[in-house]
């Protein structure tokens, strides 16, 4: 079963999926990209690669 909408932030790894510890700017950009998919992504199950 796939998620309805998903992003894959390129270069982010497990344990720091939103960004490095203390890197609030990257964390916020990553979260914002995920939130944007509510409005942008209309094809269920797509995983969008994003470069933060």
Partner 1 sequence: MLEMSRKCVPYTPVTGAINEMRIALVSSTGIYLDGQEPYQEHNDDTYRVIPGEVDLATAQIKHGHYDSSEAQKDINCVFPMERLRELADEGVIKAVSNKHIGFKGASTDLKRQYEHLAPAIAHEIERSQADGVILTGG
Contact track, partner 1, 30-49, x by CB under 8 A: xxx-xxx-xx--x-xx----
Please pick, from the candidates 2, 10, 49, 51, the single residue that binds partner 1 as defined by CB under 8 A. Answer: 2
Asked if 18 and 31 touch (Cβ cutoff 8 Å), the reply is yes
28-47 per-residue burial string, b: 16 or more CB within 10 A, e: under 16? ebbeebbeebeeebeeeeee
Please pick, from the candidates 10, 15, 49, 51, the single residue that binds partner 1 as defined by CB under 8 A. Answer: 15
Closest distance of CB 51 from partner 1, Å: 18
């Amino acid at each position: 079963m796939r998620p309805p909408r998903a992003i894959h932030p390129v270069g982010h790894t497990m344990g720091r999926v939103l960004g490095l510890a203390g890197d609030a700017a990257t964390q916020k950009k990553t979260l914002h990209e995920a939130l944007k998919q509510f409005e942008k992504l209309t094809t269920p199950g797509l995983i969008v690669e994003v470069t933060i």
